[in-house]
Chains A and B, each alone.
Chain A
């Protein structure tokens, strides 16, 4: 639904030479729908759900098992590197899509510009690859890491 509203908004924006307040109507409608939907859902769950609390249910992580360990642990930094690489190439794809839908009208100049863009990103990939960022040997690096947060059992 949001997509339809956004498209409608863009079309109305492009056709008229002057922007009037009426052009912002779709955004206003979206706002009303969004707030209304959230309000109704929250009201429904408050209205329908039976309220029968126990201490276990009010625990921060209510899923049946008493937590044994703090969730704050050290993660291998690899995850962040991979996540960052993913974001880089995800964003690259976003730009490629925008260029691909109009690539005939952009012609060779467009291909050249996108080529420079893609080569710069490939260069990044080559660099991080050669520097070992894709080497997923966590055990080799993480073997000697000490546990920072003691488990709750030990503390008790």
Chain B
């Protein structure tokens, strides 16, 4: 047996240990939410610290591929700037999402421990997706995260729409996972490997020979794009998103929406721009079609929504399209993708935290009318909402603007001017529903029944929201630190 390198998988070990500790503390010692919070916070904090240590380690000794077995045949985990940046992003998003939705844990009583443990396990699964150098390991990470999130989606048992959300997410998600797995199988049939790196990996395979009859390989790539496209809710695989975001317990949605998008796009970037870099001319057209469809469909459907969470879900489809726009440029689009993903994830978490404050931590539907006159009921919340909406719309001085510039620049450099134009037109059209929220909040009078009812936000939600809003504003005014970081975070 070879020595086991613990540093690349330290975050998973910590998260798994934290989840086990929380479950055990809850049932054997009868410890309450305060203890769970301490354990979860320590775990996530240490995991984030591990990301820094990994970054320094790569600075010292360079990127590393870690194998399993004696013959250096099967790379499993890769430690490069890409995986460290993505992993840190997943952990940060998971931590802030958990903090913002902590009120849900208190209302669940004993089952709260399960919720916290499931969130930690989901973050571990998403982290595996980002760091894996093997398609099968990537699938295992995807399933770990997905199964945990299926359960979280149905955690509020007394609401039928929560059950509906869970069963829809489960059935459609399993189907997408199966497609992804079938894509891996066909890729294996075409290239003889499920590893991306290594002497017998897919990259080495393409370096050595050209495939003359790429039929099987193309179907494999297509199926993997479908599977991951479902997870990041890119059109036309997005139909589950509105129902799930609306039905799932409000405080759990931030992680479901942002974490899966981060890991899904990281996996997509790793698979497409590294493993199948040689056949970029084949998949870039598919990705560009998906991107164009996503931005148009997402924007058009978001305009028609009367529920805030459904609107955010469809705007998420449009944002997935913007991120796919960066992906058509191959590896040179990865920094743009990272910046967009890193800033959008926190905008999304922030807006869903606001939604969970307005319509309850366990609540589902969040009609737009309940945001009428928000500025009079809670000026701070309305201000945060305004900043986040402007950022999602891509107004200058917010991080959303810088992100969109990077994405469109990458697409234009790669020769996809038409895609950038489609994206720009959709972004302008999208301003309509983002600004409508601001108009509702500032220039309308609140519903008389709600006008006197104060909005109570726990300290945890306010803290998480403050982090999200300040990130959005800070990286909009001073994007250079993050831009430098993302330009380094390239896959091996």
Contacts and interface: CB of A to CB of B under 8 A. Distances in A.
The answer to whether A binds B is: yes
Interface of A: 106-107, 109-110, 120, 123, 126-127, 130-131
A106 B24 CA distance: 30
B413 to A, nearest CB: 45
B39 to A, nearest CB: 14
Contacts of B23: 123, 127
B20 interface: yes
Contact of A126 (B16, B24, B110): B24
A70 B363 CA distance: 37
Contact of B1 (A106, A126, A130, A131): A106
B53 interface: no
Contacts of B24: 123, 126-127
B20 A109 contact: no
A109 B68 CA distance: 14
Contacts of A131: 27, 110
B3 to A, nearest CB: 10
A127 B21 CA distance: 11
B212 interface: no
B28 interface: yes
Contacts of B28: 126, 130
B241 to A, nearest CB: 29
A109 B1 contact: yes
17 contacts: A106-B1, A107-B1, A109-B1, A110-B1, A120-B16, A120-B20, A123-B20, A123-B23, A123-B24, A126-B24, A126-B27, A127-B23, A127-B24, A127-B27, A130-B27, A131-B27, A131-B110
Closest 7 CB pairs of A and B: A130-B27, A109-B1, A127-B23, A123-B20, A127-B27, A131-B27, A123-B24
Nearest to A106: B1
A71 B27 CA distance: 38
Q: Is chain B's interface secondary structure helix, strand, loop, or mixed overall?
A: helix
Nearest to A105: B1
Interface residues of B, number: 8
A106 B69 CA distance: 12
Interface of B: 1, 16, 20, 23-24, 27-28, 110
Nearest to B27: A130
A130 B24 CA distance: 10
Nearest to B2: A109
Given A123-B23, A123-B24, 16 more contacts: A106-B1, A107-B1, A109-B1, A110-B1, A120-B16, A120-B20, A123-B20, A126-B24, A126-B27, A126-B28, A127-B23, A127-B24, A127-B27, A130-B28, A131-B27, A131-B110
Contacts of B1: 106-107, 109-110
A123 B19 CA distance: 11
A110 B28 CA distance: 29
A103 B181 CA distance: 31
Nearest to A131: B27
A126 B20 CA distance: 11
A156 B343 CA distance: 65
Contacts of A109: 1
A121 to B, nearest CB: 11
A84 to B, nearest CB: 13
A127 B113 CA distance: 11
Nearest to B21: A123
A122 to B, nearest CB: 11
A126 B23 CA distance: 10
A109 B70 CA distance: 14
A103 to B, nearest CB: 13
B5 to A, nearest CB: 14
A25 B1 CA distance: 35
B167 to A, nearest CB: 16
Contacts of A126: 24, 27-28
B26 to A, nearest CB: 8
A106 B239 CA distance: 48
Residue of A106, A107, A109, A110 with highest tally of chain B CB at under 10 A: A109
Contacts of B16: 120
Nearest to A127: B23
Residue of A106, A126, A131 with highest tally of chain B CB at under 10 A: A131
A5 B16 CA distance: 41
B472 to A, nearest CB: 39
Contacts of A106: 1
Contacts of B20: 120, 123
A120 B24 CA distance: 11
Contacts of A110: 1
A16 to B, nearest CB: 16
Residue of B1, B24, B28 with highest tally of chain A CB at under 10 A: B1
Nearest to B4: A109
A110 B24 CA distance: 25
A112 to B, nearest CB: 10
Contacts of A120: 16, 20
B484 to A, nearest CB: 39
A128 to B, nearest CB: 9
A130 B110 CA distance: 11
A87 to B, nearest CB: 15
Contacts of A130: 27-28
Nearest to A109: B1
A123 B17 CA distance: 11
Nearest to A107: B1
A143 B28 CA distance: 30
A64 to B, nearest CB: 39
A123 B20 CA distance: 7
A98 to B, nearest CB: 15
A131 B20 CA distance: 15
Nearest to B113: A127
A107 B28 CA distance: 33
A110 B20 CA distance: 22
A131 B23 CA distance: 10
B433 to A, nearest CB: 43
B20 to A, nearest CB: 5
